């Protein structure tokens, strides 16, 4: 399973995600790492550099994690355990361009056949805790199969109730694709 950490500040986004089984994909310049898309090169022709810049700008990225239980991830992306983590089916690999991040620093490009996806698959080692996997697309949204919602241990009663009611409604409409819902403290103690 892959995971998307989310705060609940924009509940309409969460509701859309759960109802539509889709995740938003952002342009790389809107991601939080200021070094996104940066690379070194040795003598690449200006036409190649221009093409890479255009290709990077046309791509959209949905960032996911291989883990659901990282304290820093909950703090940075799910409002200090007041948000949720959305667990999605790994079959996304079959239908999408899904690539694990390489935490090797800023890449050095020495060949003309490098792609924008390859450049955007590198991050500095400081980000390794995220265990990030990226879905690359040209669309605004990535279709997924949501399997579970993990509620943060500090989620408000109001938000917990809203999420539980939404999942119950979605499950009643689509009984063949039931979404599990659990609270973080229970999940952390799975056997």
Closest Cα to residue 41, out of 108, 121, 118, 123?
108
CB atoms within 10 A of CB 97: 13
Cβ(1)–Cβ(89) under 8 Å? yes
| Closest residue by Cα to residue 41 from 33, 32, 50 | 50
CA distance 18 to 179: 9
Residue numbers of the chain with a pLDDT score lower than 70: 92-95, 186-191
pLDDT for the residue 186: 58
- Taking only the tens place, the pLDDT of each residue in 82-116 is 999 999 987 766 567 899 999 999 999 888 788 99
Which pLDDT score, from 0 to 100, does residue 188 have? Answer: 55
- CA nearest 134: which of 27, 49, 20, 53? 27
Q: What is the pLDDT of residue 94?
A: 59
Residue owning tokens 């040209």: 138
Q: How far apart are CA 176 and CA 168, in angstroms?
A: 13
Chain centroid to CA 36: how far?
A: 15
The count of other CB atoms within 10 Å of the CB of residue 134 is 23
């Amino acid at each position: 399973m892959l995971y998307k950490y989310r705060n609940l500040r924009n509940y309409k986004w969460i509701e859309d995600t759960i109802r539509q089984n889709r995740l938003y994909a952002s342009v790389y310049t809107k991601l939080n790492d200021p070094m996104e898309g940066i690379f070194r090169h040795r003598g690449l022709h200006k036409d190649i550099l221009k093409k890479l810049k255009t290709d990077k700008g046309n791509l959209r990225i949905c960032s996911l994690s291989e883990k659901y239980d990282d304290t820093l991830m909950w703090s940075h992306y799910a409002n200090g355990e007041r948000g949720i983590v959305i667990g999605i089916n790994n079959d996304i690999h079959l239908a999408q361009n899904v690539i694990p991040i390489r935490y090797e620093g800023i890449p050095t490009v020495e060949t003309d056949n490098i792609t924008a996806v390859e450049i955007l698959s590198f991050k500095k080692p400081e980000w390794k805790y995220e265990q990030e996997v990226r879905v690359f697309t040209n669309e605004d949204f990535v279709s997924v199969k949501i399997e579970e919602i993990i509620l943060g241990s500090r989620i408000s009663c109001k938000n917990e109730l809203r999420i539980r009611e939404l999942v119950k409604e979605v499950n009643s409409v689509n009984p063949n694709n039931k979404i599990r819902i659990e609270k973080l403290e229970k999940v952390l103690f799975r056997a």
